[in-house]
Amino acid sequence: MIDIVIVNWNAGKLLQDCVESIFSANNEQLVSKVIIIDNNSNDQSLSPIPDNPKIKIIHNSRNEGFAKACNQGFKIATAKYVLLLNPDTRLFTNTLPDCIKYMEGHPETDILGCQLLNEKNSVLPSCSRFPQPYRFLTDALGLFKIFPKIFKPSLVMEDWDHKSSRYVDQVMGAFMFMRNEIFEKVGYFDERFFVYMEEVDFSKRLAEMGGKTWFDADIQSFHLGKGTTASVTAFRLFLSLRSQLLYARKHFSLPGQAIMFLASFIIQPFSRTFFHLLKGDFREIGNTWKGYFYFLRNPIKNM
């Protein structure tokens, strides 16, 4: 009934923990396949994965990026439902049964997200609103941090506690429970996004076709967050900037693109530096400027 797609890149033991949670008693009976796409990891994270007829591993000879690797899994998923799952997540006993119960009772919903808890059992913000140019500008100026009651963040809904259920623009790709038929309607992830924003773009295209995404606070899963990219902060910033620019070129008008570029590439490096300076976080100041230098040395082509 469910095919689970996991993209792995040097996730270490996190991947093993994730797979073990999938094959717990309540969850395993609902799983048809677990498709692991490995983006040329060099940490032996695949070694502990048990031989299991339900597990299929695809080995990429290089890091193909998150969007392309996801599509490799989506294209061979045949079950009624497809769950995109990060390797730094763990399912709880009732996670999959509760997802099935909701989706079977709500045929109008295309994508389902759940409440993600961290190691402190705190709820992580995991839903986003579709980006708008002026919100990139207010974010770059740090207005959400200074006046949180007035300004909303441009993407992740950090202004909402995620303790109630509601329709949302988009749920994080760490846990996206989808009807398989969605790919016939929308297509797959845009592979021009190497990582970040691909699920936002996908959900945006779905919404423009009348599709719906539901966040259910009564369904839960564990998510460490930044589990496989925590050690590459500057490079992560570079990839995020690259994806923001691609999204803007794809979905914004020319004036909107200009506002986004001004916010993200002219104002934000200095505002990031200022806020890190206030916190005395000098390492992150260095990572900020390294990320922007990466971007300058690697301009986007053929977009």
203-220 pLDDT tens trace: 999 999 999 999 999 999
Which pLDDT band holds residue 235 (cuts at 50, 70, 90)?
Answer: confident
Distance from C-alpha of 239 to C-alpha of 292, rounded to nearest angstrom = 10
Distance from C-alpha of 58 to C-alpha of 175, rounded to nearest angstrom = 20
Distance from C-alpha of 128 to C-alpha of 214, rounded to nearest angstrom = 12
The tens digit of pLDDT for each residue in 5-42 reads 999 999 999 999 999 999 998 888 999 999 999 999 99
Residue ranges covered by each domain of the chain: 2-126+162-223, 233-297
User: What confidence score (pLDDT) does residue 301 get?
Assistant: 56
| Res 299 pLDDT > 80 | no
Angle at 214 between CA 32 and CA 207, to 5 degrees: 100
Fold designation for 2-126+162-223: Spore Coat Polysaccharide Biosynthesis Protein SpsA; Chain A (3.90.550)
The tens digit of pLDDT for each residue in 97-150 reads 999 999 999 999 999 999 999 999 999 999 999 999 998 899 888 888 888 888
Q: Averaged over 296-302, what is the pLDDT? A: 69
Mean pLDDT of the chain: 92
